[in-house]
A and B are shown apart, each in its own frame.
Chain A
Amino acid sequence: MSEDALKLTTYFGERARVKGRLLADELLDAHARHDIRLSVLLRGIQGFGAKHHLRTDRLLTLSEDLPLVSIAIDERERIEALRREVAALPGEGLVTVERARLTDSLGGLSAESELKLTVCLGRHERIDGEPAFRAVCRVLREAGVSGATVLLGVDGTIGGKRRRARFFARNGGVPLLVLSVGEAVRMDRALAALKQMSPSLLCTLERARVCKRDGQLLRPPVHDALALDGGSAWWKLTVVTSEAARHQAAPVYLELVRRLREHGAAGATSLRGIWGFHGEHPPHGDRLLSLRRHVPVVTETIDTPERIRVLFGIVDELTSERGLVTSELVPSSAPLGRSPGL
C-alpha cells in the first residue's frame, strides 16, 4: 500500500450556507458520496479569512461563526472529482490541494529530509488498553520525531463510511487525527514501530520542513527552488504551541493571530488539540481541576512565498523560546466558487 494521493482542505465558517444547507454538511455529504478513504471535519477556536473578520472563542459574541477545516485524503482521481464539485460551491472560504501518500512506509519519500505523518484513529479507539492516540504519540516520541498533536474531529469518513459526532452518543468511531513532523529517518523508525503495534493504521505522509523548534532556527520557511516553481505555488506555515505558552503576558496563539491579522495575512486558523508533545517536552493535555489549559494549539496560515517570508518574522519573534514551526508547499489554493488549477 503506497499510493500517490491528494489532500483537499477547505477552510470556511461554521455558519456558511449553500442552497439553504450548512456548507459543512454539504462538504461531508460530498466526501461520503465520493467514498473518500479518509476525511475529517475540524472545529477551529479562532481565525479570520479574506474579509479579516476575527472570530475567537475567547469572547462570546465573536464565537458565533468559528472557523471550520475539512480535510479529505484519497487517491488522485477521487480527490480530483471531489475538488471539481467542492470548487463549484458558492460561498466564502479557501480550497487547497496538497500532495500526500496513503502509505505505511516511506517509499519514494525516503530521499526527503523531513516528513509530516498523519494518523487517523477513532475517538475512543484503544490499543492494548491504552487510548490509541496516546499510544501513537508515545511511539512517535520514542522514535524521536519533532512533535505530534492530536486533533479531535466532529465529523468525517473512514473508508468511505460517514462517522458523524452526535450530541447524545458515545461517538467512539468519530475520526481524530494525530499530526506529526520529523526527520525522515526518525519517521521511518516510527512507522515501523506503529505498524508493529497496530498493522491496520490509516497513515498518510507529506513533505514538510521543520523551520524552528523550541527557539532554535533550523530552516527558512520557503524553499527557494520550490518557491519559483511555476510562480503560482503557495506555502503553509504551521505553528504549534502549548495553550499555556505566553509571549509577555498574552498566550502565544492569541497574539500570533492578532499580529498576523494586523500585518494583513490572507487568513489564519487556530485549532485546539487534546494531546500532544514537541521536542524534549513530555506529552501534555488538560489536567483535572486546573484553571489553565495545557493542550497544544495549532495555527495555520497560507500565503504567497514572499508574504510567508514576512509573516515568518512575526512567528519567529513569538516563538523565541518554545513552539514548533513547520512549513509546507501548497501547490494549489483558491477561494471557494473558483476552480483551483493544479
Chain B
Amino acid sequence: MSAPTWIAVAALGSVGSIARFLLDSAVSSRSSGSFPLGTLAVNASGALVLGVLTGLALSGDALTLAGSATIGSYTTFSTWMLETHRLGEDGRLLPGALNVFASIAVGIGAALLGRTIGGAF
C-alpha cells in the first residue's frame, strides 16, 4: 500500500470509530433498559453497509478504505462480547443469549440484504 493509502486508512478509521460512538450513545441513551441495543445497531448497520460495498463489487484500495478501514473501525466485536459478559454477570442469561444469537441473525440478514441492494446497481 502507498503512503497516501495508509494516511487515508488512518483518517477513515477515525471517522468509523467516531460514527460508532455517536450512533451507539444515541441509541443507548434512548433505550432505558440495559440491553446493549446501541452495539447491535452499530454492528447490524455496519454489516449492511459492508454487504452493499461487496455487492457493488468494490476491489483494491477502494475496498480496503471503505471496508477494512471505515467499517472495520465502525463495527465492534469486543464490545459485543464485553456487554454479553456483563449480562451474564447480572445473571441475565436469556438476554445474554439473545444478544449473541440476535446479533448473528440480524447481522447475517443485514449483510445479505446489503449485498442484494449493492448488486442491484
Question: Which residues on A are within 8 Å of B, measured CB to CB?
Answer: 53-54, 56-62, 243-244, 246, 249-251, 254, 258, 261-262, 291-293
The reply to whether A61 and B91 contact each other, CB–CB distance below 8 Å, is no
- B29 touching A53, Cβ below 8 Å: yes
In the bound assembly, the distance between CA atoms of A212 and B21 in angstroms comes to 41
Closest to B38 in A: A61
Indicate if B59 sits at the interface (CB-CB under 8 A). no
Q: Is the CB of B29 within 8 A of A251?
A: no
B92 touches A60 (CB 8 A): no
Which residues of B, 32-59, contact A by the 8 Å Cβ criterion? 32-34, 36, 38-39
B105 lies within 8 A of chain A by Cβ: no
Query: Within 8 Å CB of A60, what residues of B?
Result: 24, 39, 79, 82-83
Q: Which residues of B contact A62 (CB under 8 A)?
A: 25, 28-29, 38
B94 within 8 A of A: yes
Residue of B33, B34, B94 most packed against chain A (CB within 10 A) = B34
Contacts of A262 in B (CB 8 A): 32
Q: How far is the CB of B99 from chain A (nearest CB, A)?
A: 11
Does the CB pair A291–B88 fall under 8 Å?
yes
Known contacts: A60-B39, A61-B24. The answer to whether A249 contacts B34 by CB under 8 A is no
Bin chain B's interface residue count: 20 to 34
Residue on A nearest B85 in the bound complex, by CB: A291
Q: Are A251 and B32 in contact (CB under 8 A)?
A: no
In the complex, what distance in Å separates the CA atom of A274 from the CA atom of B38? Answer: 29
Question: Does A258 contact B39, Cβ atoms closer than 8 Å?
Answer: no
A57 to B86, CA, bound (A): 9
Assess whether B32 is in contact with A59, with CB atoms less than 8 Å apart.
no
Please give the distance in Å from B103's CB to the nearest CB on chain A: 14
Check if A246 sits within 8 Å of B91, measured CB to CB.
Answer: yes
CA distance A258 to B31 in the complex (A): 11
CA–CA, A262 to B88, complex, Å? Answer: 25
Using known A-B contacts A56-B34, A254-B34, A258-B33, determine if residue A61 contacts B90 with beta carbons closer than 8 Å.
no
Question: Looking across the interface, which residue of chain B has its beta carbon closest to that of A46?
Answer: B34
With a CB–CB cut-off of 8 A, which chain B residues contact A54? 29, 32
A58 near B34 (CB under 8 angstroms)? yes
Are B83 and A291 within 8 A (Cβ)?
Answer: no
Nearest residue in B to A245 (C-beta to C-beta)?
A: B91
A149 to chain B: closest CB distance in Å?
Answer: 19
How far apart are the CA atoms of A253 and B91 in the complex, in Å? Answer: 13
Contact of B86 among A53, A58, A61, A244 (CB under 8 A): A58
In whole angstroms, how far apart are the Cα atoms of A292 and B79 in the complex? Answer: 19
- 13 new A-B contacts, CB < 8 A, other than A249-B92, A251-B91, are A54-B32, A58-B83, A59-B34, A59-B38, A59-B83, A60-B24, A60-B82, A243-B90, A250-B92, A254-B90, A292-B88, A292-B91, A293-B90
